[in-house]
A and B are shown apart, each in its own frame.
Chain A
Amino acid sequence: MVDRQIWTSNLNLWFGKNQILHNINLEIYKNSITAIIGPSGCGKSTLLRCFNRMNDFISDMELTGKVYLNGKNIYAPKTDVYAVRASVGMVFQKPNPFPKSIYNNVAYGLQIQGKYSKSEIKDRVEESLKAAWLWDEVKDRLHHSAMSLSGGQQQRLCIARALANKPKVLLLDEPTSALDPQSTAKIEELCLALKNSVTILIVTHNVAQAGRISDYTAFLYLGELVEFEKTEQLFTVPKDKRTEAYLTGVFG
């Protein structure tokens, strides 16, 4: 039995009167890559944002059920939301480095916690940039604007920024959809290297990408978890007709 990093129990979510997620029961295993696939508007991103409570900012959001992260329900009343978010890294669809220097981008997550010394932060910045395979490209210009980097580099900077907090989980929300094929390949390779130290969840509408890098795949359709399997199995012998239809491109 593989260890569970995240699991949900009867997770339902509404935006106003629209129910977006229906009774999701999902288990995410430690040090694996899990892909969440499904057609546009099926709730993939919303589900991902449940794992670091980023849906809380939507004013008419309602949620029932439980989401366990490292054994604790992060929707329990006394949860420290900021600590939850700091312990989970998130990378977005469009590279969104802050209009600050490369160094300050990576240091930001540590700086706001106010409990690290300057030298600790300096070491952690270097470590994170190395882990995101960006160090060699930027080590001579750490104090230049992050906006001067290419799109692919910016996205790896965002990964480094997320890694600086030493998260156990990394949430990637279509991280390569705004990138060229070469940068995409590099980030996919990076994910494979990172899964030894961090559990990765990736939302993608690129089915081939899910097939290339993920260990497990969850297929979401109209807010329902239709199928969750080892990627190999789901891609070769899908149990559900809808999964098969989606994978073969009948709809999407």
Chain B
Amino acid sequence: MNFRRGKNTFWLSIMTLMLIITAGFLVVFIVRIITLGAPVLSWKFIVEPPREAMTEGGIFPALIGTFLLTALAMIIALPLGIFTAIWLTHYGKPSQLVNILHIIINTMAGIPSIIFGLFGMTIFVNLLDLNVSLLSGSLTLAILALPVIINNTEEAIRSVPADFSEASLALGATTRQTISKVVFPAALPNILTGAIISVGRVAGETAPIMFTAATFYSRSLPHSLQNEVMALPYHIYALMTEGTHPQAQVPIAYGTALVLLLLVLLIDALAIIIRSYMRKKRQW
């Protein structure tokens, strides 16, 4: 009996230790980012462009750039992803084609993001001649987000009880009406939550925009889709690798990292709030 109790205590201690180590990493990481980044944070840091060869000033163009890249990527990816998922769930009869599509989508989800960057460069920048631009970067990010959006939308649609579709069809509705009036509204909360989480991911990506959209320094905001843009993750990368005054620039990089981190946390928090609100409202 004592032996068994001893074994139990032993494993419990091991688990507690692992938990402490995991949580410890997270705490150290957050504390470190905050202590290094917080000193440069200020309202001016948010709303001013960089000055004096990036040794002073703020990150406003990068913030706006990230916002534009992400928003445009979502505008492109959401309709593509949602309609693809609807086709896969409702129109694609179980067949070899559908299986192959699923394999392609899942493979895409596993491709390293730098490969998407290269792909975006060869297709959008070179082949389609869109230049290193906001548009090329958004398209690349959209492709990166697609598999996540498709998988998430499919799951959301499949979780809507079949009873609802049956009732709708039995009343004489077409498949299209059933999807647009019954299935899609019921799946929407989950589709939205997934979309918001992928926004967080897209906003933080560096590799896909490195060759397709991002620029080290731009004095003005982009005024067309053909312009290069600054972006938060790339700004960090540039400050840490290409800076000529590291003493002044490294703190700015940490400040930028802190802003990016807060932004992603904020977006995820929004997703959680929407989800719990919708779950409370949902009653099936």
Query: Is A101 part of the binding interface, using a Cβ–Cβ cutoff of 8 Å?
Result: no
Report the tally of A-B residue pairs with Cβ distances under 8 A. Answer: 70
Is B110 engaged at the interface, CB distance under 8 Å to the other chain? no
8 Å CB interface, A84-121 against B: 84-87, 89-90, 92, 94, 96-99, 108-109, 111-113
Q: Are B283 and A145 in contact (CB under 8 A)?
A: yes
Interface window among B21-29, B134-142, B174-182: B174-182
Binding stretch for chain A, among B59-67, B73-81, B147-155, B158-166? B158-166
Select from chain B the residue with minimum beta-carbon distance to A105. B167
Chain A residues, Cβ within 8 Å of B177: 112
Determine which of A94, A98, A99, A109 lies in contact with B172 in the assembled complex, contact meaning CB atoms within 8 Å.
A109
Residue of A nearest to B174 (CB): A82
Partner of A99, one of B93, B169, B171, B282: B282
Check if B171 sits within 8 Å of A108, measured CB to CB.
Answer: yes
Interface size class of B (residues with CB under 8 A): 20 to 34
Q: Which residues of A in the span 60-99 have a Cβ within 8 Å of any Cβ on B?
A: 82-87, 89-90, 92, 94, 96-99
Looking at B167, B172, B185, B186, the one whose CB has the most chain A CB atoms below 10 A away is B172
B173 & A112 in contact (Cβ 8 Å cutoff): yes
- CB-CB under 8 A from A161, the residues of chain B are 167, 171
A106 to B141, CA, bound (A): 44
The CA-CA distance from A145 to B284 in the complex, in Å, is 11
Take A98-B182, A145-B283 as given contacts and tell me if A57 and B171 are in contact as well, using a CB distance cutoff of 8 Å.
no
Q: CB within 8 A of B171: which of A112, A147, A148?
A: A112
Q: Which of A57, A82, A89 contacts B173 (CB 8 A)?
A: A82
Grouping DSSP codes into helix (H, G, I), strand (E, B) and loop, the B interface class, with mixed when no group exceeds half, is helix
Q: Which residues of A contact B170 (CB under 8 A)?
A: 52, 54, 85, 89-90, 92, 162
**Distance between A144 CB and nearest chain B CB, rounded to angstroms:** 11
B161: shortest Cβ distance to chain A, in Å? Answer: 7
Closest 4 CB pairs of A and B: A86-B172, A147-B283, A96-B163, A109-B171
Other A-B contacts than A96-B167, A99-B186, A161-B167, 13 sampled, CB-CB below 8 A, are: A52-B170, A59-B93, A94-B163, A96-B166, A98-B168, A99-B164, A108-B173, A112-B171, A112-B174, A147-B283, A147-B284, A148-B283, A162-B170
